[in-house]
Amino acid sequence: MTGGRADPPQIPTPGRLTVLAGPTAVGKGTIADYVRTHFPGVWFSVSMTTRRPRPDEVDGVHYHFVDDQEFDRLVAAGEFLEHAVVHGVAKYGTPRGPVERALREGRDALLEIDLQGARQVKEAMPEALFVFLEPPDWDELVRRLVRRGTENQPDRRRRLETARREMASRTEFDEVVVNDDVRRASEELVSLMRSRRATR
């Protein structure tokens, strides 16, 4: 260094936000897990939820687990980018601050959220990339719902009705990825995230 003018501080190109949503039981969580493991460059938002942790879940990694009162306080303080009651049971929300920070730092950020949340993000950040994950066909979704769900007939019928309604919302999305194979679908998702970044 010879006393010349200091270089201006490097401001990174802002990152791009991608929202992954889709019908109940399509396998969003599985795709998210695959991307988390195989593409460490992708930044994941950690949601807040009022539901109880499952045995294998770690607070601060899979979710921030909070009680109802704390969740409502954060809503009132405007701390969420989006929030919703999912399956009529628990509240879920995306903390705004960490997402904005990640994007400022130039990271490719991914939100894996439900359809109500995706619509709210579209209002707030229409420039984000919205990806709809769909099953290879309707019968496969029914099989997945039956496998994971209760054998109780009315409950299954309700879930299927919800899934059918959710499938219709694919037209609101920029891209559709078919979950025919976890690895293939995950790679397609990440390549969409990256190609968008290159063309904008």
Q: Is 28 in the site for ligand 5GP (CB under 6 A)?
A: yes
The H or E element containing residue 30 is helix 28-38
Among 92, 130, 132, 173, binds ligand 5GP (CB under 6 A): 92
Q: Does 46 bind ligand 5GP (CB under 6 A)?
A: no
Asked if 36 interacts with ligand 5GP (CB under 6 A), we say no
Phi-psi region of 182 (alpha: psi -120 to 50; beta: other; left: phi over 0): alpha
Angle, helices 153-167/138-148, rounded to nearest 10 degrees: 140
Do residues 41 and 199 lie in contact, with contact meaning Cβ atoms separated by under 8 Å? Answer: no
Residues 59-88 as x/- pattern, contact with ligand 5GP by CB under 6 A: -----------------------x-x-x--
Does position 179 bind ligand 5GP by CB under 6 A? no
Reading the block at residue 29, the tokens are 């969580």
Binding site for ligand 5GP (CB under 6 A): 28, 47, 51, 82, 84, 86, 92-94, 112-114, 116-117
